[in-house]
Amino acid sequence: MGGVASVAAGIVFATAPAEDGGPAAALPYDGSTVLRRLLEQLESLGIAQIHVVTRRAFAAAVEPSLEGLRAEVRLHACADPAEDVAVVARVARASRAGVVIAYGDIVTHREALAGLLADPRLATGILASSRKPPGVYCFRTRSSRGRVLSASSPYHSVERPSAAFIGVLKVDGRDQAALADAAERLAPLLRAPLPPGWVEEFERKRLREEERLAADPERERTWLPDVAAQDVPALLVTALVRSGVHVGNRYLRSLFWARPLSRAQVSRAAKEIAGYDEDRVLLDSAVKASDGFFTTFFVSPYSRYIARWMARMGRTPNQVTVLSMAVGAGAAAAFATGSRTGLVVGAILLQLAFTFDCVDGQLARYTRTFSRFGAWLDSVFDRGKEYLVFAGLAIGSTRGFGVDAWPLAALALALQTARHSLDFSYGTIQHVAMESAPLLPLEQASDNGRAAPAEAAKAAPAPDPLVGVDGLPGGPPPVEPGPPRPLRALPVLLLRVARRLDRPRGVRWAKRIVVFPIGERFAAISLTSALATPRTTFIVLIAWGSFAACYALTGRLLRSLLA
C-alpha cells in the first residue's frame, strides 16, 4: 500500500541529542536504529538520494545506520544549525526534482509518510497533526483553506494555532529555489547574536514549560532546550511561509507518530506502533474528517469496506467515479417513469450512487492513488448526477402525477448552481487574499504584524520633534485611535459567539447539516421522492437550499467586514 514519492532527494536531521547525550536518531530500535528505520521507509518510497545531517560529535554513532542502503546516502557533519541550513541550500540548488526534509528520530507508519510524499495534488506541504502529539514539544501552525498561514519555531510564535508540525516537510521542485533562498537567509540569522526578540521568544517557551511542570509535577517534560535549538525543519517551514510559498497540510489522522529521545521512549513507541492494525487505521484515515453528518454516520461506516474490497479487486478511483455516474443516471431514469415503484427504485439507486461517490475518494486515500484529473472528474460527475436527477424528477412529475414541476426544477437547479458559484468564487477570493497578504520579515519573532517590544525598540528610529508623522516638517499630528466602529464591532461579536457555539460537538454537527451538503441533499431527495411526490422534493430542496445559502452568505459577509 502507498504510492511512490514525488520527490527524489531527502535531507534527514540526526542532530537532536538523546537523554544519554548521544544522537537520538541512533537509539536502538528492533535490532536496528530509529534512523535506519526511517531511511528504509524513505528508500521504499522511491527516495534515491538521502543527505543525513548530524553533529560532528555524533558522526561515528550515526554512520552504522547508513550502511547497506540501496539509496545514495551522504553524511554531513555540521557544527551548528547555521551550517545545517547551508547544507539545505546546497542540496536545494543542486536538484530540481523535489526534496523531503525530516527529523531523523521519528517513529511513524510508512503510510503517514506516503500520504504526504505520494500525493501530487500537494506540491509543497508538511505532515501535521490536528491534535497535540504526546511527548516532545511540537511547533504549532495556523492554517486556512488547506494553506499554512503562519508557523512557529524555536524563535517564532504563532497566534491562534490550529495544528502541530510533526517533523516532515515536502518541497516541490518548483519551490526549491525558494527553499534555497530561505535557507540562505536563515544561515546568518542563526549565528550570534540572534535577531532581537528571538532569545526572548525561546525563553518564553522554556518558562511556560516550567510553569506547566510546576502545576503538574507528574507531567512529562516536552520543551527540551537542547532539542528545540537544533530544530532546523521547523525554522525552514517558518521561513518558507514567510517568503510567500504555498505550504499545504497532510494530516496524520489516526496513524502513529512519536519522537522518542530515550531508550525507554523508543521501547514504548515500538510497543505502541506494533499494537496498531495499520491496515485498519489506514482505512479509517481514508474517511474525510470534514464530511457532513449523513455521510459520516450513515455512509462511511460501510463504504470504507467497499473501498478496501475495490482495492483488492484492482479497481481504480476513476473507475468507481464513472460507476457512480452511471448508477446516478439510472436513478434519474427511474425517477422519470413517474410511478411509485420507479420513485422508490430511483431513491435506492441514488443512495447507491452516492455511496460509490464516497468510495472513490476513500479508495484514492486508501491506496494513495491521487490525481488532479480524478479530482476534476469527481467534481464534474457530482454536479452531473444531481442535475440529471432534477430532470428525471421533473419528467416523472409530469408523467405520473400530472404536475408540471419544470419551473421548480429550474429554480432548484439555478439555486444550486448559484451556491456552487458562490462557494468557488469565495474560495478563489480567499486564496487571492492569502497570496496578496503582506509577508512578515523572518527576523520578527511574533506573527501578529506587530513587532515585539525588543524588536520595536531597535527597529523604530528616535522621534524627531521637527518632523511630522508623514515624514514632512509640520505634518499632521498623530491621530489617537477611537472606539471600534459599530460596523466592525458587531461582526466581531457575532463571530465570537459563533466560535463559542462551535465548541459543543452537537452544535458543530448541526451547523454541518444546516449548510445542506451533498449527502444531506441526496438523502432529502431519496426520502421525499420515495414517500411523497417530485413536487415535494423540489419544494424541500428550494426551501432548505435557500436557508443554507442565506446562512453561508451571512457568515461570509461578516468575515469580509473584518478583512
Name the percent of the chain lying above pLDDT 90: 69
* pLDDT of residue 463 exceeding 80: no
Specify the CATH architecture of the domain 286-420+503-561: Up-down Bundle (1.20)
Residues of the chain with CATH 1.20.120.1760: 286-420+503-561
* pLDDT of residue 275 exceeding 80: yes
Specify the CATH architecture of the domain 9-278: Alpha-Beta Complex (3.90)
Tens of pLDDT, residues 60-111: 999 999 999 999 999 999 999 999 999 999 999 987 789 999 999 999 999 9
pLDDT of 465:
31
The answer to whether residues 237 and 100 touch, using CB atoms and an 8 Å cutoff, is no
pLDDT of 5:
67
Tens of pLDDT, residues 467-519: 332 222 333 333 344 444 555 566 666 666 666 666 677 888 888 999 999 99
The whole-number average pLDDT for the span 241-254 is 94
Predicted TM-score (pTM) of the model is 0.84
pLDDT of 190:
96
Number of residues assigned to the chain = 563
pLDDT of 453:
45
pLDDT of 503:
66
Element (H, E) at 516: none
* pLDDT of residue 418 exceeding 60: yes
Element (H, E) at 454: helix 453-459
- C-alpha closest to that of 347 among 523, 486, 115: 523
How far is residue 240's CA from residue 165's CA, in Å, rounded to a whole number? 14
Q: Are strands 125-129 and 257-258 parallel, antiparallel or unpaired?
A: unpaired
Residues of the chain with CATH 3.90.550.10: 9-278
Tens of pLDDT, residues 364-394: 989 888 888 888 899 999 999 999 999 999 9
pLDDT of 193:
93
Q: What is the mean pLDDT of the chain?
A: 88
How far is residue 357's CA from residue 519's CA, in Å, rounded to a whole number? 10
| Residue predicted with more confidence, 1 or 192 | 192
* pLDDT of residue 1 exceeding 80: no
* pLDDT of residue 184 exceeding 50: yes
Least confident of 144-153, 431-440, 515-524: 431-440
